Amino acid sequence: MSHSHFLSALKGENKLRPPVWLMRQAGRYLPEYQAMRKKYPFLEMCHTPELVKEVTMMPIKRFSFDAAILFSDILMIPEALNLGLRFEDGVGPIMDRPITSKEQIDSLPDIEMSVFSFIQEAIGLLKKELKVPLIGFAGAPFTVASYMVPKAKQFYLKNPEAFKKLLDRLTDITIDYLHIQVKAGVDAIQIFDSHLNLLSPKDVQEFSYPYLERIFKAFPHVSTILFSKGSHWPQLGHLPSKGLSCDWTQNLSEVRKAFPKKVIQGNLDPEILFAPKERVAQYVKECVEQMGGDPAYIFNLGHGILPNTPLESVETLIKTIDDLAFARSL
Q: Binding residues for ligand CP3, per CB under 6 A?
A: 23-28, 37, 42, 69, 71-75, 87, 92-93, 137, 192, 194, 304
Q: Which residues are catalytic?
A: 24, 28, 37, 73, 147
Q: What is the DSSP letter of 81?
A: T
Q: Which is nearer to ligand CP3, 28 or 279 (CB)?
A: 28
Minimum distance between the CB of residue 84 and ligand CP3, rounded to whole angstroms? 15
Q: What is the DSSP letter of 101?
A: S
Amino acid present at 192: F
Q: Which is nearer to ligand CP3, 54 or 73 (CB)?
A: 73
Q: Which is nearer to ligand CP3, 222 or 324 (CB)?
A: 222
Amino acid present at 46: C
Minimum distance between the CB of residue 126 and ligand CP3, rounded to whole angstroms? 12
Element (H, E) at 264: strand 263-268
With CB atoms as reference, the residue minimizing the distance to ligand CP3 is: 27
Q: Could you tell me whether strands 224-228 and 68-69 are parallel, antiparallel, or unpaired per DSSP bridges?
A: unpaired
Minimum distance between the CB of residue 192 and ligand CP3, rounded to whole angstroms? 4
CA distance linking residue 171 with residue 214, whole number of Å: 7
Q: Which is nearer to ligand CP3, 37 or 277 (CB)?
A: 37
Minimum distance between the CB of residue 137 and ligand CP3, rounded to whole angstroms? 5
Minimum distance between the CB of residue 313 and ligand CP3, rounded to whole angstroms? 16
Q: Which is nearer to ligand CP3, 12 or 185 (CB)?
A: 185
Instruction: Locate all alpha helices (DSSP H) within the chain, ordered by sequence.
Output: 5-10, 31-39, 42-47, 49-62, 76-80, 102-106, 117-129, 141-148, 152-158, 160-184, 201-207, 209-217, 233-236, 252-258, 277-289, 311-329
CB neighbourhood size of 54 (10 A): 21
Minimum distance between the CB of residue 323 and ligand CP3, rounded to whole angstroms? 25
CB 148 within 8 A of CB 137: no
CB 136 within 8 A of CB 189: yes
**Is 125 buried (19+), middle (13-18) or exposed (0-12) by CB count in 10 A?**
middle
Q: Which is nearer to ligand CP3, 140 or 280 (CB)?
A: 140
